[in-house]
Structure 1
């Protein structure tokens, strides 16, 4: 049955695709801010990498059966759309086929009606026309499925595994299953794979999380008010549309609508309110561990192909997933590009990595691990990442490779608001005190504002100067610069900024950016990190060190470990600056910028907000060795 939506619903679909997680891969709006021109990508490397040739279509047509009922063990019915190759007369192919499963929270009917491409990034028809079936399922409590939505709960993870096993045992399935999808759908893949369901052979998650609290919900201990409300509202809004089967099954349709309403009242609204009021959801704990793929990833055993973004919501998490899977001996690949969440989800820029389109990579991966065809996967490096500052695509075997060493730059002297910079030095720093004022608009004119609203602003204002030049935003805080470098400073991985601070209220937030200052004065934001002063407790057993120096701090972010500074106390605060890959070219300067807000990204719980509206003091010098530590490659 084909579903036609009224004009208002179709308009919402367009907004959903722009505001949620992805848009069709062919969209011209997916220009990558700050990416080097195409000519900067080494063409010889690309040509060598793309010697694999995708096989042609086997079938010209597809046909979709909508709203199949998938009953869970507790009686809740989920709904899925099944797309298969079609015969010349439009009937489904009778042959049993391997199945590609995608589990979405964004209403499969609205998404397919509004843009043609679902949030898996690549058009599912590409695989279907080459001998696969595609099953797209609304998660419990979303879209056309019954139940109450409780995002990434253990119940939802159990559902994901059950969906895979259901797909593997249908009459139209040959028993072999793969999974695709971005963001929510990528995270669902990891939870499904951790259940080790029968039939699952390989997965292809784009921009998945690892640790949802630190990755996105409360980076540094403050609440994300850019993406999280948008996301919660999106899932709730797309769940109130009446299902297509409602006229034929009115009782089932009514139950679905009631379930979704109760889910919004019982999960979404209380969660948001409690977090903003400083309740339990403002702190890390069992709630977030249950919803973090890194908690179960050791149970993932199937080959996994990851796509991530250096300006993505899960910039921090996707590399952690890659590392853990690789450590466990799971066949895994990672392509990490200069992409925000929308761009990483769509996969439109994936060909620039040199291995073909996203659809071709998925075919290569699934043909190899599901159909037994040679995908020449040895020609794809375990890790391929975009190097900011050069435009190169770099191939490595590991995320933290043996050729990296820790290099420490110390903040030296005094900086002040308005553009007076201190220094970054590798030698002995000069003593100084610098005031970070509480300017509540800092962060607004920066790529961070685009990153933490999932990339929506760049769709509307793709040439907006704030996304490519941080110079104006830096005037609202402190800056510390090296002298123009004479040899390239090439770094890759996580970064730590240790700042010695004092504050009259004992609290506040440090927003730290690592930047590249060009000879003409333009400033490119490379990456950033955040840390609430009262959450500075460091767990050294879970932190990461290189050459004995801290490069990735781990803070508990619990109420029990939260402690304010005493009056007049100066203490070190380690700020986790999110991982990336970049080079500062000769003649450019490396900069560390420090501010007290990151708008519209983060906001303190309302109960602590007054404590954040005070100046912080950053101390430098031999007695207070504030510094930034980079994993540097020769």
Structure 2
């Protein structure tokens, strides 16, 4: 079932929205800002979550910005082991950041409350159930957690210092749950700004193309579990009072009982069943004004396309996951949006272009405005594959039939275009149709679209979670190849992921590979495109012949992007066969690209 609006009983409503009995605000150390620390707010089942409230010292009624996450509302980014690298990158990018703020209250993936309170906003940061100072079972993105968020929003709208309007702001986890709670339509919610957040719990988080994503194990182990409520062994320090901010210590046995490992849960649910549908919002119920900020890698346009909001805007950017959120330009954009929808400021926001994309080039980027997404004027072009010589191009539709094999758990099979003779732009969703076979009953396809410079080097880009990524990445477990024509387009298949259909060894099957993100690149003359198909995670290792678009150093060997497939569910007996791609004749395989003609 989809997320439904949860209406508390009258008794539960009175419990949830009763005055919490604030203690005197602690000294924030920031002129003009009051700080209410660890305020208890009662949920509909009687459990109390803890929130921090940052508000203007001057009395009045102010709009509220809220976020709710598992990372610790009192955990300093500068000191926490899991966030020190992110903090170092942030300060290196913006060395004057802490001249504009004390930076004392900046938390991972969260807005700096000082810079909002000074502009007439209240900021509320909550520890999710089971994390930090909030007791209970830690179960990320669960219906219970979403109901808690709805309760907090309506509670905030009823407080004496509130204007009654609440907006949501945050990145990643704190963007994903904005979509979830917006579908519940809580009283007081007036606008959302999800910054690089996934929408579809199955296709963008648990599984990519039907292949289990175990990258979340690192996130869970290093960023979430250390902050579990009751974890007395946490290395995290309460930056407000010192010591621990994880509540009353619990035994290891109780801690284990009080948390739901997401990767373990994903592994128990290999298909898009009720588990994911309870965590994926019904987009038709999301009607609140929204500004979606997406990235060309990892989490992009799904939320924007799914929601029914008539007042919605999309920005697709390049760069890493964290630092752009804290830039002066980003803050100005966020404030213009919320000033308009939470304060009613006539600042011309309604004239903002509905879509703006940061078009990538090897030497930099440039913003382009548009009226819709995908961009108007796209000319869809087929680049046909030829297995006889590993070539790819628009004039190879009638290539001689051929097949090329590769190891099912092994290295790459690559198709490359001729050097482009004119500067050419591709911006938008991409698609791949392949004819494939395997010597076993299943196969996993890992696809990478790459840009190759005239010297034969890979040109890489800064990704959401990786400093070196190709133009795009796609995935498909072939036993999940069934597609729903009513929900598919020529450039983007919709795989229901409801059943497994084994392959007959040696038989060819047409399959459409899932790309959850679009791409953008202006290809200079002399550069080429390459499409790599392989049976394992794509990545650049030490010694790889690459050049970064922004001259970043090459990292250690690892996969690219926010995905990692190595897991016991990839049994070598099933996925380690000999795989093949067929091209030409009756088995035309191709890459579908969104060409933007000159002048658009």
> What do residues 257-300 of structure 1 show as CA deviations (whole Å, max 9, x unaligned)?
5599746436534x534645xxx3222211111112xx322222
Matched, 1:567 2:536: no
State whether residues 64 and 84 of structure 1, in contact with CA within 8 Å, keep that contact through their aligned partners in structure 2: yes
Distance, in Å, in 2 between the alignment partners of 1:69 and 1:245 is: 19
Distance, in Å, in 1 between the alignment partners of 2:151 and 2:183 is: 12
Q: Which residue in 1 is equivalent to 2:406?
A: 436
TM-score of the two chains, using structure 1 as the length reference: 0.73
Report 1:309-324 matches (<5 A). 309-312=295-298, 314-315=299-300, 319-324=301-306
Closer, same or farther: CA 551–569 of 1 in aligned 2, 3 Å: same
Distance, in Å, in 2 between the alignment partners of 1:614 and 1:337 is: 39
Distance, in Å, in 2 between the alignment partners of 1:393 and 1:378 is: 19
Distance, in Å, in 2 between the alignment partners of 1:208 and 1:274 is: 20
Matched, 1:555 2:543: no
Report 1:237-252 matches (<5 A). 237-239=226-228, 240-241=230-231
State whether residues 37 and 53 of structure 2, in contact with CA within 8 Å, keep that contact through their aligned partners in structure 1: yes
Classify the secondary structure of the residue corresponding to 1:73. coil
1:494 Cα deviation from its structure 2 partner: 1.9
State whether residues 146 and 260 of structure 1, in contact with CA within 8 Å, keep that contact through their aligned partners in structure 2: no
Bigger share in helix: 1
Distance, in Å, in 2 between the alignment partners of 1:588 and 1:518 is: 5
Classify the secondary structure of the residue corresponding to 2:39. strand
Q: Which residue in 1 is equivalent to 2:186?
A: 197
Q: Which residue in 2 is equivalent to 1:588?
A: 527
Classify the secondary structure of the residue corresponding to 2:74. helix
Matched, 1:410 2:410: no
Matched, 1:628 2:591: yes
Closer, same or farther: CA 261–401 of 1 in aligned 2, 3 Å: farther
Q: Which residue in 2 is equivalent to 1:54?
A: none
> What do residues 227-252 of structure 1 show as CA deviations (whole Å, max 9, x unaligned)?
344235521211145697999xx9x9
State whether residues 223 and 605 of structure 1, in contact with CA within 8 Å, keep that contact through their aligned partners in structure 2: no
Q: Which residue in 2 is equivalent to 1:169?
A: 158
Classify the secondary structure of the residue corresponding to 2:537. coil
Closer, same or farther: CA 290–229 of 1 in aligned 2, 3 Å: farther
Report 1:386-397 matches (<5 A). 386-389=358-361, 391-397=365-371
1:490 Cα deviation from its structure 2 partner: 2.1
State whether residues 222 and 604 of structure 1, in contact with CA within 8 Å, keep that contact through their aligned partners in structure 2: no
**What is the aligned counterpart of 1:136 among 109, 116, 125?**
125
**What is the aligned counterpart of 2:141 among 143, 149, 152?**
152
Report 1:40-439 matches (<5 A). 60-86=31-57, 93-111=58-76, 114=79, 116=104, 117-231=106-220, 233-239=222-228, 240-241=230-231, 253-254=247-248, 257-258=249-250, 262=254, 264-265=256-257, 267-269=259-261, 271-273=262-264, 275-276=266-267, 280-292=268-280, 295-312=281-298, 314-315=299-300, 319-325=301-307, 328-343=308-323, 347-348=325-326, 357-389=329-361, 391-414=365-388, 421-427=390-396, 428-438=398-408
Distance, in Å, in 2 between the alignment partners of 1:64 and 1:234 is: 25
Classify the secondary structure of the residue corresponding to 1:388. strand
Q: Which residue in 2 is equivalent to 1:463?
A: none
Distance, in Å, in 2 between the alignment partners of 1:305 and 1:396 is: 15
> What do residues 91-114 of structure 1 show as CA deviations (whole Å, max 9, x unaligned)?
xx3323221111111111114784
Closer, same or farther: CA 568–191 of 1 in aligned 2, 3 Å: closer
Distance, in Å, in 1 between the alignment partners of 2:114 and 2:187 is: 25
Q: Which residue in 2 is equivalent to 1:541?
A: 486
State whether residues 149 and 264 of structure 1, in contact with CA within 8 Å, keep that contact through their aligned partners in structure 2: no
Q: Which residue in 1 is equivalent to 2:471?
A: 526
Closer, same or farther: CA 193–491 of 1 in aligned 2, 3 Å: same
1:75 Cα deviation from its structure 2 partner: 0.4
State whether residues 412 and 425 of structure 1, in contact with CA within 8 Å, keep that contact through their aligned partners in structure 2: no
Distance, in Å, in 2 between the alignment partners of 1:341 and 1:223 is: 22
Q: Which residue in 1 is equivalent to 2:440?
A: 505
Closer, same or farther: CA 220–591 of 1 in aligned 2, 3 Å: same
Distance, in Å, in 2 between the alignment partners of 1:370 and 1:531 is: 42
Distance, in Å, in 1 between the alignment partners of 2:378 and 2:575 is: 37
TM-score of the two chains, using structure 2 as the length reference: 0.77
Closer, same or farther: CA 260–489 of 1 in aligned 2, 3 Å: farther
RMSD between superposed Cα atoms in Å: 2.7
Distance, in Å, in 2 between the alignment partners of 1:130 and 1:288 is: 39
Distance, in Å, in 1 between the alignment partners of 2:266 and 2:112 is: 37
Distance, in Å, in 1 between the alignment partners of 2:121 and 2:147 is: 24
Number of aligned residue pairs: 498
State whether residues 195 and 293 of structure 2, in contact with CA within 8 Å, keep that contact through their aligned partners in structure 1: yes
**What is the aligned counterpart of 1:576 among 514, 518, 526?**
514
State whether residues 385 and 395 of structure 1, in contact with CA within 8 Å, keep that contact through their aligned partners in structure 2: yes
Closer, same or farther: CA 597–113 of 1 in aligned 2, 3 Å: closer
1:136 Cα deviation from its structure 2 partner: 0.6
State whether residues 142 and 260 of structure 1, in contact with CA within 8 Å, keep that contact through their aligned partners in structure 2: no
Q: Which residue in 2 is equivalent to 1:470?
A: none
State whether residues 311 and 340 of structure 1, in contact with CA within 8 Å, keep that contact through their aligned partners in structure 2: no
Distance, in Å, in 1 between the alignment partners of 2:392 and 2:310 is: 44
Distance, in Å, in 2 between the alignment partners of 1:397 and 1:263 is: 50
Classify the secondary structure of the residue corresponding to 1:144. coil
- Give structure 2 stretches of 5+ with no counterpart: 1-29, 80-102, 460-469, 539-558
> What do residues 165-199 of structure 1 show as CA deviations (whole Å, max 9, x unaligned)?
11111122222211111111112222222222222
1:429 Cα deviation from its structure 2 partner: 2.0
Closer, same or farther: CA 423–178 of 1 in aligned 2, 3 Å: closer
Closer, same or farther: CA 77–395 of 1 in aligned 2, 3 Å: same
1:557 Cα deviation from its structure 2 partner: 1.9
